[in-house]
Chain A
Amino acid sequence: MAAPFLEVENLCKHFGELRAVDGASFHVGQDEMVGLIGPNGAGKTTLMRLITGILKPTSGTVRFKGEDITGQDTAKIVNKGIAPTFQVVKPFRHLPVGANVMVSCLCPRAKRRGDWVKTVELRARDALEFCGIADLALEPASVVSHGDLKRLEVARAIATEPELLLLDEPFGGLSPAETELMGKFLRRLHRGGRFGRLHSEGPAMVIVEHKLSDLMKIVDRVIVLSFGQIIVEGTPDEVVRNKEVIEAYIGKEVSSLVS
């Protein structure tokens, strides 16, 4: 049997007494789009940060394509093909939007795997065009609207030519129309076709999200996190009907779950 694509085993992160992530185990397949949901403070962001090495886990292992990458340097992990985005957008504010993406195009992985016919500028432009913000390429990131910064986050991540995208609340703070657009766009990105290489599979994705109804439309599988532990895993339909999930959310989101 081939080793699973991403394999998280018994991952723990303790902040003093607080167990932000407490023994999470799950895996993600090479062609999967997985949703990660859970109430506020459940430890979703922390879990993402553990996988990309921004935080070092207290215990447990993360394996990517059979290789142990637990606690490695973030840049190294990104160059192996896992690209994160941040919940709170963190662009290079004084750089133009185009230069923001260009930085990703300059990482060793993007240099190696990117379209070799194209200059770095053109590659950055490709990523921006794919995300629909090519017209902002020359504007400094500090003057760009929040919705466009969210897209810039994704553009910056896909410019590293990832095989696995970890998106932390990509719909956060977006209007309903923007959310729908972003959802469709992520779906299209996952289907693959043209991005980066001429023949591309499209990256696998883990999407952390609060807006459950929008998330359920686009993912294949959902993992529910509560108090740092995975309580349920299944298809969107199964999860929506699950009693534990409804309890975890104490009914407040159930209306949106069912709709």
Chain B
Amino acid sequence: MGSYLYRLYRGFQGEILAVPGRVIALIFVTLLFLLPHIIPHPLVLKIFSLAALFAIFAASWDFLSGFTGQLNLGHALFFGVSAYSAALLNVHLGVPPWATIPIGAIAGVIAGLLVGIPALRLRGFYLALVTLAFPIILIGVIFVFPDITGGELGLFGVDRLSGSRVLDYYIILLVATASILVMWKLTDGRSKIVRTGVILHAIREDEITARASGINTVRYKLMVFSISGFFAGVAGGLYAHYIRIAGPSILELFFSFQPIIWTIFGGIVTIYGAVAGVFILYPLVELVRLHPVGEIYRIVLMVLILIVVLLFMPQGITRWVRDHIEEICPRCKLINIRTRRYCRACRAPLRAEK
């Protein structure tokens, strides 16, 4: 027993404590879980609840567009389909949130496949145009049936997630942590548990070589579309129950561009970059919105921040930070903290001696 615990501790030390990026992530998640006790202000709680939910949304965009290189400009479709499914079921049929959110996520999967199948044939620019059109078509459908869908005003009176805002926050945070961990694991090329990561990286790098290696790329692409749709759907369902309304604004262009801006800001093809992007950018923009002028210039501000960041950190903020605190051992490729001169495992010098 004692030796088992000791091994667990050593594993924790080697996998997390020795890697600065993961230490930061651990501290950050711990702080998020303590947030209602540190700052019990309702507005702060609301901003961070929505940030956690949007983190799922942004990560699911990165999972799809970052990892397969298929630019999806209409990611709001998955979010919106799920939010509306959840709201419709809840308002008209009284289905409780614990059922509507999974059903919404499944609606997201179906939407994902619906977009994914044409995506197998279309490339680049054409695919981007088609994905752009899907949410707009859905808005049209919603406006045709205003009695059921609420039309332009949206569907009101959706049930709350739970009785209290603090509990809501914890539910969203737990779901977000789990969802993001799953997506991160699925895309981790070094993982020895799930092997999809290395295959996804391979398909992005060279699809023909991947096929020549016997990988059924069509199946993997559809899988990515449906998983991305699933998690965007989870976010959409949570959103409908959190703000208690499903309106057409969540299908608008701006809503599709948000995850793209967040992800590029944080660092694309990383998953954690998308999450970091949301947690930095979203609260910032919301604070600016409190000022009456900020409300109008919200988009301008987001784009300005993005441009400035990309000028100085073209790979996104998380990669920039990692480059400044981490060093990969040239021999064994293990991640070391930058202050070390020799690798923690193989003792090779990390930098050429001066």
A residues apposed to B, CB below 8 Å: 52, 54, 73-76, 78-79, 83-84, 86, 90-96, 99-100, 102-104, 106-110, 119-121, 138, 156-157, 159-160
Selected from A54, A84, A94, the residue in CB contact (under 8 A) with B205 is A94
**Residue B177 at the chain A interface, CB threshold 8 Å:** no
Extra A-B contacts (6), CB below 8 Å, given A75-B214, A109-B214, A119-B192 = A52-B212, A73-B218, A74-B211, A75-B217, A78-B211, A120-B195
Separation of A106 and B200 alpha carbons in the complex (Å): 12
Q: A96-B333, A138-B332 are in contact. Are A103 and B215 (CB under 8 A)?
A: yes
Count of chain A to chain B residue pairs whose CB atoms are closer than 8 Å in the complex? 85
Selected from B192, B205, B214, the residue in CB contact (under 8 A) with A107 is B214
Q: A103-B210, A106-B199, A138-B332 are in contact. Are A95 and B205 (CB under 8 A)?
A: yes
Separation of A157 and B214 alpha carbons in the complex (Å): 9
Write out, one digit per residue, whether chain B residues 192-206 have a CB within 8 A of any chain A CB (1) or not (0): 100100110110011
Docked-complex contact A54 and B208, CB < 8 angstroms: yes
Selected from B198, B202, B214, B333, the residue in CB contact (under 8 A) with A160 is B214
In the complex, which of the residues A102, A103, A109 has the most CB atoms of chain B within 10 Å of its own CB atom? A103
10 A-B contact pairs sorted by A residue (CB < 8 Å): A54-B212, A75-B214, A75-B217, A79-B214, A92-B205, A95-B189, A103-B198, A103-B202, A104-B214, A121-B192
Give the nearest-CB partner of A159 in chain B. B213
B residues apposed to A, CB below 8 Å: 189, 192, 195, 198-199, 201-202, 205-206, 208-218, 332-333
Docked-complex contact A106 and B208, CB < 8 angstroms: no
Selected from B189, B209, B215, the residue in CB contact (under 8 A) with A91 is B209
Give the nearest-CB partner of A79 in chain B. B214
Question: Which residues of chain A are near B218, meaning CB under 8 Å?
Answer: 73
Question: Which residues of chain A are near B209, meaning CB under 8 Å?
Answer: 86, 90-92, 156
Question: Which residues of chain A are near B216, meaning CB under 8 Å?
Answer: 73, 75-76, 108
Question: Which residues of chain B are near A96, meaning CB under 8 Å?
Answer: 333
From residue B197, how far is it (CB to closest CB) to chain A in Å? 9
Give the nearest-CB partner of A52 in chain B. B212
Give the nearest-CB partner of B196 in chain A. A106
In the complex, which of the residues B189, B208, B209 has the most CB atoms of chain A within 10 Å of its own CB atom? B209
Separation of A75 and B203 alpha carbons in the complex (Å): 12
Chain B facing A: main interface SS:
helix
Separation of A94 and B205 alpha carbons in the complex (Å): 8
Selected from A78, A95, A109, A138, the residue in CB contact (under 8 A) with B212 is A78
Docked-complex contact B213 and A160, CB < 8 angstroms: yes
From residue B210, how far is it (CB to closest CB) to chain A in Å? 7
From residue A95, how far is it (CB to closest CB) to chain B in Å? 6
Selected from A52, A83, A92, A121, the residue in CB contact (under 8 A) with B202 is A92
Docked-complex contact A84 and B210, CB < 8 angstroms: no
Question: Which residues of chain B are near A120, meaning CB under 8 Å?
Answer: 195
Selected from A75, A95, A119, A157, the residue in CB contact (under 8 A) with B211 is A75
Docked-complex contact A95 and B202, CB < 8 angstroms: yes
Give the nearest-CB partner of B198 in chain A. A99
Selected from A76, A94, A108, A119, the residue in CB contact (under 8 A) with B201 is A94
Give the nearest-CB partner of B219 in chain A. A75
Question: Which residues of chain B are near A73, meaning CB under 8 Å?
Answer: 211, 216, 218
From residue A89, how far is it (CB to closest CB) to chain B in Å? 9
Docked-complex contact A78 and B213, CB < 8 angstroms: yes
From residue B51, how far is it (CB to closest CB) to chain A in Å? 31
Question: Which residues of chain B are near A109, meaning CB under 8 Å?
Answer: 214
Separation of A86 and B209 alpha carbons in the complex (Å): 9
Separation of A74 and B207 alpha carbons in the complex (Å): 11
Give the nearest-CB partner of B212 in chain A. A84
Give the nearest-CB partner of B217 in chain A. A75
Docked-complex contact A92 and B212, CB < 8 angstroms: no
Docked-complex contact A90 and B201, CB < 8 angstroms: no
Docked-complex contact A103 and B212, CB < 8 angstroms: no
Docked-complex contact B199 and A83, CB < 8 angstroms: no
Q: A95-B189, A95-B205, A138-B333 are in contact. Are A103 and B211 (CB under 8 A)?
A: no
Docked-complex contact B195 and A106, CB < 8 angstroms: yes
